[in-house]
Structure 1
Amino acid sequence: MLTTTFSMAQLYPAVATAVRAPSLHNSQPWRFRLADGAIELRLDPDRMLDACDPTMWAARISCGAALFNLRLALAVAGTPARVQLRPEPTDPALMARLVPLAPRAATPTESRLHAAIPRRYSNRLPFRPDPVPAAARHRLIEAARAEGGWLELVIGSTAVGAVAEIAMSANRVLDRDPAYQAEIARWTRHGPASDGVPAAAGGPVAEPHDLLPQRPFGDWHRAPGRDFETEPLVAVLGAAGNTVGDQLTAGQALQRVLLTVTDAGLAASMLSQPIEVPQAREQLRLALGRFGSPQMVIRIGYGQPGQPTPRRDPADVIDTVLEET
């Protein structure tokens, strides 16, 4: 029996914050509900990407990121939560259950990261050449560690080139799959929408001389021969393993890193191609020499102004309340 319970009045604003998490192609594969005074986060079976995410790895990463936002929203509202990951083994769609803890004031870090949520978005435009300061780099590494993940900053042109080649090779594999390309096209939006990636936010069309791969969301071209970026800061985020629990942990670590990026005045975009192709993921792990499993490649730098991609209304992702006390 819970001594305190969450209510619908607490759930709705928390979910409005949670849905600002990133997801592959902005598919938003999550649902939320109250059950016996606890908040449940669930995979949405109607939002799975059959071609781009057949193992549901990306959907679980996204749910982990939404879980981190949910935790921040509840903490800033004065009621932090204890998180139970995958509390019902017989219910594989149930990703997490959040049980209220004793009320307390939010920490300064929680408040800063929460304030960064509406300003965080994937910036697919070229970044300025200004280097990311050492202090900011340290903050990003610590952000991943605080959530049980790890972040490897790829330093040096040789190392960056090796990771870039792995990413490009994976992208070529994916490009040869017609179903994969068709699914990206279905999630590209050319008008008002509440999900998917607006073409205007997709960045420029990829060029053969680009160092890193680019999704074909955008439809505008750069000046001929102009490099996208020659020396980007590339980071690889990982977890101890690649179980469902590891993926949820990695999603929380990813979102904490991305919000720390935003709080530091930086921008980021994600490259999941080398994670989506199993052989490329293993090559990446070996290249890094790290224990554990890479879960995301992140490009970080100083970006041009942009805007977040659209999200569904919280009412569209909240299921009927099972029991409210």
Structure 2
Amino acid sequence: MPSRTPDTTSLTSWVAEATRAPSMHNAQPWQFHYLAADGVLSLRLDPRRSMPQTDPSARGMHLGCGAALFNLRVAAAHAGWEPQVRLLPDAVDEAALALITFAEPGERDDIADLYPAIGRRHTSREPFSDEPVPEALLDGLRGAALAEGARLDLPDDWQVQAVLDLVWDAEHAEELSPAVREEIARWTAVTDSARPEGIPLYALGPRAYDGRAPVRDFAGGRRVEGRGSAVFEQSPCLAVLGTREDTKEDWLRAGQAMERVLLQATQDGLATSLNSQALEWPELRWALRDPESATGYPQMVIRLGYGPEAPATPRRSVSDVLVIT
């Protein structure tokens, strides 16, 4: 009796959920190819979405694709399938990130419970309240990262200040680099548009009038009509997601861990935002390492807290990212 494979309608819906993942500057650097007869889905980097100035190693692209891969796993598990993933299947083809096949599960995977959070998770650039995040929730987020082979460290007060100092150093370095500013501007709309990628005007958030939250200002000093200012939190709750090593496989695992943490946080009623600014400068990324942590390589800074629901940002159509043969 032949084994079952997912039909193309189901597979297309899972890829649609995958594309809701966050990515650096919302560039959405993923491509999918489904061999329907074999039931094999491949995930690849989209080279058209590279950022040679801010992401020359493509580490950020790998993180975004890893996040999309985790969403796909959740969607498939929710539909009653067990996704089986092989990372970096071709040593020669650097754009080939993963091969995914699907089986009928023997036991239900708990990640299926995260499915409702996929559509609700959005990056927030709004102020959060000063209400502390309960330790029980933070423990759960640490567990989510560990389940995907990464680690989530919660810096104490003096370490938070060190992280903020590095983010501010990155902001200053950005200001002094026209090439970096130009690349960021490519992915940032200062007027509303129908672009299916990048960061639209409505998602920029207010300018920081006061506060210490590391919220990146993608306006880059450009005047945006109607954009207000706000006071952000003085004691931001920050987490640093990291891995022991720094290979491409680690980046993909970190992306999956990042999305698992974000979905769990969303399910727990938390707002989240991501900041890779200091990680885009090698010397600052190295300084972000905590020598007392088992995490050798920081991959993302995550801000957690209680705040207003953030708007969804645009996504490319599934027909633009998925090929079925």
TM-score by length of 1: 0.91
Residue equivalent to 2:33: 33
Residue equivalent to 2:275: 271
- C-alpha separation in 1, matches of 2:196 and 2:167: 29
1:7-26 equivalences in 2 (<5 Å): 7-26=7-26
- C-alpha separation in 2, matches of 1:211 and 1:99: 41
Query: What secondary structure, in the 3-state scheme, does the structure 2 residue paired with 1:197 have?
Result: coil
User: Which of residues 42, 45, 48 in structure 1 aligns to 2:47?
Assistant: 45
- In the TM superposition, residue 221 of structure 1 has moved relative to its aligned partner by 3.5
Unmatched tracts of structure 2, length 5 or more: none
Query: What secondary structure, in the 3-state scheme, does the structure 2 residue paired with 1:41 have?
Result: strand
Moved more, 197-206 or 58-67: 197-206
Residue equivalent to 2:111: 110
Query: What secondary structure, in the 3-state scheme, does the structure 2 residue paired with 1:319 have?
Result: strand
1:78-89 equivalences in 2 (<5 Å): 78-89=80-91
Deviation per residue, 1:220-279 (Å, 9 max, x gap): 2326xxx42200100000012111000000000000000011000001111101211111
Asked whether the 8 Å contact 2:242–2:296 carries over to 1, the reply is yes
Query: What secondary structure, in the 3-state scheme, does the structure 1 residue paired with 2:154 have?
Result: strand
What letter is aligned with 2:281? Answer: V
- In the TM superposition, residue 208 of structure 1 has moved relative to its aligned partner by 8.0
Deviation per residue, 1:97-135 (Å, 9 max, x gap): 11112345644x323311100000100111011000111
Deviation per residue, 1:19-59 (Å, 9 max, x gap): 00000111000010113321111101111122221111110
Asked whether the 8 Å contact 1:113–1:260 carries over to 2, the reply is yes
Confirm or deny that 1:94 pairs with 2:96.
yes
Q: Give the direction of change, closer, same or farther, for the CA distance of 1:211–1:136 in structure 2 (3 Å limit).
A: closer
What letter is aligned with 2:236? Answer: P
- C-alpha separation in 1, matches of 2:285 and 2:95: 25
Unmatched tracts of structure 1, length 5 or more: none
Residue equivalent to 2:229: 222
What letter is aligned with 2:252? Answer: L
- In the TM superposition, residue 138 of structure 1 has moved relative to its aligned partner by 0.6
- In the TM superposition, residue 213 of structure 1 has moved relative to its aligned partner by 5.0
Residue equivalent to 1:57: 59
Give me the identity figure in percent.
Answer: 42
Aligned length: 315
1:147-226 equivalences in 2 (<5 Å): 147-156=148-157, 158-189=158-189, 190-191=191-192, 192-206=194-208, 210-217=212-219, 219=224, 220-222=227-229
- C-alpha separation in 2, matches of 1:6 and 1:89: 27
Query: What secondary structure, in the 3-state scheme, does the structure 2 residue paired with 1:99 have?
Result: strand
Asked whether the 8 Å contact 1:234–1:297 carries over to 2, the reply is yes
- C-alpha separation in 2, matches of 1:288 and 1:263: 30
What letter is aligned with 1:41? Answer: L
Asked whether the 8 Å contact 1:76–1:105 carries over to 2, the reply is no
User: Which of residues 278, 282, 287 in structure 2 aligns to 1:283?
Assistant: 287
TM-score by length of 2: 0.91
- C-alpha separation in 2, matches of 1:87 and 1:54: 22
What letter is aligned with 1:120? Answer: R
Q: Give the direction of change, closer, same or farther, for the CA distance of 1:62–1:76 in structure 2 (3 Å limit).
A: same
Residue equivalent to 1:302: 306
- In the TM superposition, residue 182 of structure 1 has moved relative to its aligned partner by 1.3
What letter is aligned with 1:114? Answer: Y
- C-alpha separation in 2, matches of 1:118 and 1:206: 27
